[in-house]
Amino acid sequence: MVSIATLGSHSALDVSEGAKEEGYKSIVVCQKGREKTYARYYKTRKRADGNEVGVIDEIILVDKFKDMVAKENQKKLLDQNAVFVPNRSFAVYVGYDAIEKDFKVPVFGNKYLLRAEERDAEKNQYYLMEKAGIRYPQEIKSPQKIDRLCIVKVSEAKRTYERAFFLASNYDEYLEKSREMLAEGKITQEALKKAKIEEYIIGAYFNLNFFYSPLNEELELLGVDMRRQTNLDGFLRIPADQQLEVLKYADPTTIEVGHVACTLRESLLEQAFEIGEKFVEAVQKNYKNGLIGPFALQGAFEENNGEKFVCFDVSLRMPGSPGTRFTPYSSYLFRKSVSFGRRIAMEVKQAEKENRLDLVVT
């Protein structure tokens, strides 16, 4: 029997709880200084009343997350027959090259697809959405061609894996706002040159969180959520005239700090499934091993487009929102609430039973 492992960040608790629910040992690789959540607060343990609490059976402590590819750390996982569940932190801290070439532990899902989240990858998310026929914001090729309200997506100076955003409706506004951010050290000139400029979509924002099962050859919508971001949420909670006053002292930022579970109007579900199925088909045709397990399409339903979904971003691994289990969609399918962590463990269990583990790992 396998064990289920992940990296101690992003969605490790969700993965570990799901593993435990399906009877698997849970292992979390933690970085020193960031381990307390997993090594103490949610560690599996017996309390004085005799009841077992917690969901983390074992931690593997490393100096830096990237050290998990060291042979001695991989051996600890391989010795326990671990299946490793990737998340965004795994991609960011370990890196695509190391994941693809050096990490020998079986990864749940298609580890070669993780790179497609990056907008400068060869067959990236835009390529896949184009192949799938999914509407996404029109790209503006250069700042001089900005002729409508646009969002400029730039990598942050300090946290290059996060994006800084600013809005501009013409070239003069682009110059003014980019100069401000450069002067404040929020972005770099190099990052600005690589920035993506897209038309700004006004609509109702949703993350559609899917799971594709190669074993059952079915697409599942497990939950819907939206993001909580700082300090943008604070701006939005004050009246417009006061927002203008606050803007004199602080700029809005979009650092993700949480999620809110939400639901779709039922008549929109067919559209959600259709675009999800198109995306799966596009991946199957363009990537060896295809799409396995969780992915999310993040965007908005645009009113002046006949309530059609416009996709801003694609996540090609474990989603960061554990609250999806509290939306009703997994219950509609499984007749019980199923988290993404548990759904992964269920797929692993089925694969083990049917001797088809090779279909769900790379």
Q: How far apart are CA 280 and CA 23, in angstroms?
A: 29
The per-residue pLDDT for range 296-339, each reduced to its tens digit, is 999 999 987 689 999 999 999 999 999 999 999 999 999 999 99
Residue 109 above 70 pLDDT? Answer: yes
Query: For residue 251, what pLDDT is reported?
Result: 72
Residue 161 above 80 pLDDT? Answer: no
Chain mean position to CA 341: 13
Q: How far apart are CA 311 and CA 110, in angstroms?
A: 21
Residue 40 CA: distances (Å) to CA of 45, 231, 279: 9, 30, 40
Q: How far apart are CA 262 and CA 294, in angstroms?
A: 18
**What's the predicted TM-score (pTM) here?**
0.92
3-class DSSP string for the chain: CCEEEEECCCCHHHHHHHHHHCCCCEEEEEECCCCHHHHHHCECEECCCCCEECCECEEEEECCHHHHHCHHHHHHHHHCCEEEECCHHHHHHHCHHHHHHHCCCCEECCHHHHHHHCCCCCCCHHHHHHHHCCCCCCECCCHHHCCCCEEEEEECCCCCCCEEEEEECCHHHHHHHHHHHHHCCCCCHHHHHCCEEEECCCCEEEEEEEEEECCCCEEEEEEEEEEEEEEHHHHHCCCHHHHHHHCCCCCCCEEEEEEEEECCCHHHHHHHHHHHHHHHHHHHHHCCCCCCEEEEEEEEEEHHHCCEEEEEEEECCCCCCHHHHHCCHHHHHHCCCCCHHHHHHHHHHHHHHCCCHHHCEC
Query: For residue 246, what pLDDT is reported?
Result: 80
Per-residue confidence band for 162, with pLDDT thresholds at 50, 70 and 90:
low
Query: For residue 305, what pLDDT is reported?
Result: 65
| Residue 222 contacts residue 211 (beta carbons within 8 Å) | yes
What CATH number labels 125-135+203-338? Answer: 3.30.470.20
Query: For residue 44, what pLDDT is reported?
Result: 98
Query: For residue 247, what pLDDT is reported?
Result: 74
Query: For residue 160, what pLDDT is reported?
Result: 67
Sheet strand arrangement including 26-31: 58-62, 26-31, 3-7, 82-85
Residue 291 above 80 pLDDT? Answer: yes
Sequence spans of domains, the chain: 3-107, 125-135+203-338, 143-199
Comparing 1-10, 198-207, 237-246, 254-263, the range with the smallest average pLDDT is: 237-246
Q: Which CATH architecture has domain 3-107?
A: 3-Layer(aba) Sandwich (3.40)
The mean of the pLDDT values for the chain is 94
Query: For residue 164, what pLDDT is reported?
Result: 77
| Residue 177 contacts residue 323 (beta carbons within 8 Å) | no
The per-residue pLDDT for range 73-90, each reduced to its tens digit, is 999 999 999 999 999 999
Query: For residue 304, what pLDDT is reported?
Result: 74
Chain mean position to CA 356: 26
